[in-house]
Copies of this chain bind each other. A is one copy, B any other.
Amino acid sequence: MAIPPGVSQEDFNTALQQFENVVGKDWVFTSDADVALYKDAYTPLWGEPDEIVASAAVAPDNAEEVQKVVEIANKYKVPIYPISTGKNLGYGGSAPVLSGSVVLDLKRMNRILEVNDQNHYVLVEPGVSYFDLYRHIEDNGYDLMMDCPDPGWGSLIGNALDHGCGYTTTPFRDHFDAHCGMEVVLANGEILRTGMGALPGAKTWQEYPYGFGPSLDGIFSQSNFGVITKMGFWLQPKPEAFRKVTINVYNREDIIPLVSIQTYLENSGLCMGLPDFGTPLLSGVRRGSPLSGVRRDDAAGVSAELMNLLGTKGGPPMDELGNFGKQNDIPYWTLDLKYYGPPRVIDAQWAHARENFSKIDGVRFEEDKLYNLPLSENDKDEIHKVSLGIPNLSIFFIGARTASNSDPDDGHIWFSPMIPRTGEAILEAQEFYGTVLRENGINLPGYNVMPASYFRRAFLLLFGFPIRQNVEENQKTREAFRKIVTLSAERGWAEYRTAPAFMDDVMDVYSYNDNILRRFNETLKDAVDPNGIISAGRSGIWPKHLRKA
């Protein structure tokens, strides 16, 4: 059994005993087999001495037990690492940042405390997964559509605190933005409620987000200032219908008006569904961005000639490619728009959008059928489930072993920079990452990177750097990851989220005014968690005794 750094065996044993007194013997895990479950399955440190392991885990049943566990941890200065539920694959799994921390596993706290389908919100605990909430809504016939990310086993709270996103409409698909009200166990074991929750018997805890005075919620996201035990989320009413349409354009420079018109529509509230940009030509697939993780269903239709062009050493020749696309009716770019609402409103919004996109020379449109809600089981099989807030695990087909991929990676780690929401930025990113990934030995085709549009006003790029059960390869990958973080930062692009292995590196590039952001975060950390027991190192925030000079 590992021991937390800086804690004596005796103190650790005492703390574990006291944890047991609080949560019961069954819910303190210390055996190697149990503790190994909290390792990161996709760790970039596989098999190396630095691979992160927990020393133990403790799973309280409610906020009062969390308070007591935190008090004990504080007394014996035992580092704890709260997790909610789900896997967090590609961003560090369930492993702590500081090896030897005790994982505070909140999976048992899986109560849906309130559902309001008049004002469309829920109040949940950290152990509530998207599957849990979806079942609860459907079983009770609530008039609510939730939003979920790809893997349905994730926690609403965990995902929101990591600034995670889903696939339905703005503002609901930005999960932190759609939250309202938190309950937090502070490092000293006290409970704080944010927003209107600070008013005893508040009637608007899940309706008005700010409360009175400073709005605190943000500092508990991507941080280590407290343990979140309850959180409210705004949901949307179930729409009457859903329709996906596709805009196909054929010239490289068409991406500029394509993005610009979509941005105008979304910022005008005229199409709030997730816009999904793709480049079938550059991806060698008929439709759907590979990065959106949606589908490669028409891949069989791609000719060998295209594959040859794409395989050109040094990157594909864009002019030739463009001509090939026009001759073969393979669009250079596609944009899927998703409409939700009454059919006549969808029709009017789409007619208006169509008119706007018609300004692009040679544009072609495709319209999927209109789905009326509630969906039939057959409908659910046809559609992209998460677009309707239906949690599932189909994302895991990506990178799996297939006929054409007999040697898949053992895992991946996400590199996730934000870039401006413009076509120009997409072109720049393709040129930049097309070169920089190749030059740094990362076998990913960056020249065709397409942005995810989860966030309202900026584009997110997602690169799954391959992880192998091979120490040497992973070391090279880590080195490349760090280098690309730095090179991206020099262009004004940086990551919205990263795995523990790279948190310090990413925080390093947020360096304005001699890294004042990190220094300010540390000032807050010292004030609210003076013993530094919660999630040491998370987002590059270390407690005083572990801080580098």
Q: Are A213 and B495 in contact (CB under 8 A)?
A: no
Question: Which residues of B lie under 8 Å from residue A347 when comparing CB positions?
Answer: 348
Q: Are B521 and A528 in contact (CB under 8 A)?
A: no
A202 and B415 alpha carbons, distance in the complex (Å):
17
Any chain B CB within 8 A of the CB of A207?
yes
Beta-carbon nearest neighbor of A267 in chain B: B120
Any chain B CB within 8 A of the CB of A517?
yes
Task: Report A347-386 CB contacts with B as 1/0, cut-off 8 Å.
Answer: 1110110000000000000000000000000000000000
Q: Are A119 and B191 in contact (CB under 8 A)?
A: no
Q: Are B199 and A269 in contact (CB under 8 A)?
A: no
Question: Which residues of B lie under 8 Å from residue A294 when comparing CB positions?
Answer: none
Task: Report A452-475 CB contacts with B as 1/0, cut-off 8 Å.
Answer: 000111100000000000000000
> Known interface pairs A204-B419, A214-B521, A216-B218. Does A199 touch B494 (Cβ–Cβ under 8 Å)?
yes
Any chain B CB within 8 A of the CB of A431?
no
In the assembled complex, the CB of A186 is this many whole angstroms from the nearest CB of chain B, namely 7
Beta-carbon nearest neighbor of A273 in chain B: B269
Task: Report A110-154 CB contacts with B as 1/0, cut-off 8 Å.
Answer: 000000001111000000000000000000000000000000000
> Known interface pairs A120-B263, A344-B348, A492-B201. Does A221 touch B210 (Cβ–Cβ under 8 Å)?
yes
Question: Which residues of B lie under 8 Å from residue A498 when comparing CB positions?
Answer: 212
Most chain B C-beta atoms within 10 Å of own C-beta, residue among A121, A221, A270: A270
In the assembled complex, the CB of A461 is this many whole angstroms from the nearest CB of chain B, namely 12
Interface-forming stretch among A298-306, A321-329, A506-514? A506-514
A347 and B345 alpha carbons, distance in the complex (Å):
9
Beta-carbon nearest neighbor of A192 in chain B: B516
A214 and B539 alpha carbons, distance in the complex (Å):
8
Q: Are B215 and A219 in contact (CB under 8 A)?
A: yes
Any chain B CB within 8 A of the CB of A548?
no
Q: Are B512 and A200 in contact (CB under 8 A)?
A: yes
Any chain B CB within 8 A of the CB of A180?
yes
Q: Are B509 and A199 in contact (CB under 8 A)?
A: yes
A118 and B221 alpha carbons, distance in the complex (Å):
30
Question: Which residues of B lie under 8 Å from residue A513 when comparing CB positions?
Answer: 190-193
Any chain B CB within 8 A of the CB of A421?
yes
Beta-carbon nearest neighbor of A349 in chain B: B345
Question: Which residues of B lie under 8 Å from residue A292 when comparing CB positions?
Answer: none
Any chain B CB within 8 A of the CB of A27?
no
Task: Report A520-545 CB contacts with B as 1/0, cut-off 8 Å.
Answer: 11011011100000000001110000
A263 and B180 alpha carbons, distance in the complex (Å):
17
Contacting A214 at CB < 8 Å: which of B171, B219, B425, B496?
B219
Question: Which residues of B lie under 8 Å from residue A223 when comparing CB positions?
Answer: 213-214
Any chain B CB within 8 A of the CB of A78?
no
Question: Which residues of B lie under 8 Å from residue A105 when comparing CB positions?
Answer: none
25 pairs, A vs B, C-beta closer than 8 Å: A119-B267, A191-B513, A194-B517, A196-B418, A198-B517, A200-B512, A202-B494, A203-B492, A208-B496, A209-B457, A210-B221, A213-B507, A214-B222, A215-B222, A216-B520, A217-B218, A219-B219, A234-B267, A234-B456, A237-B268, A269-B341, A344-B351, A344-B352, A345-B352, A348-B348
Ranked nearest first, the 3 interchain pairs of A and B with the lowest CB-CB distance are: A215-B218, A527-B527, A213-B539
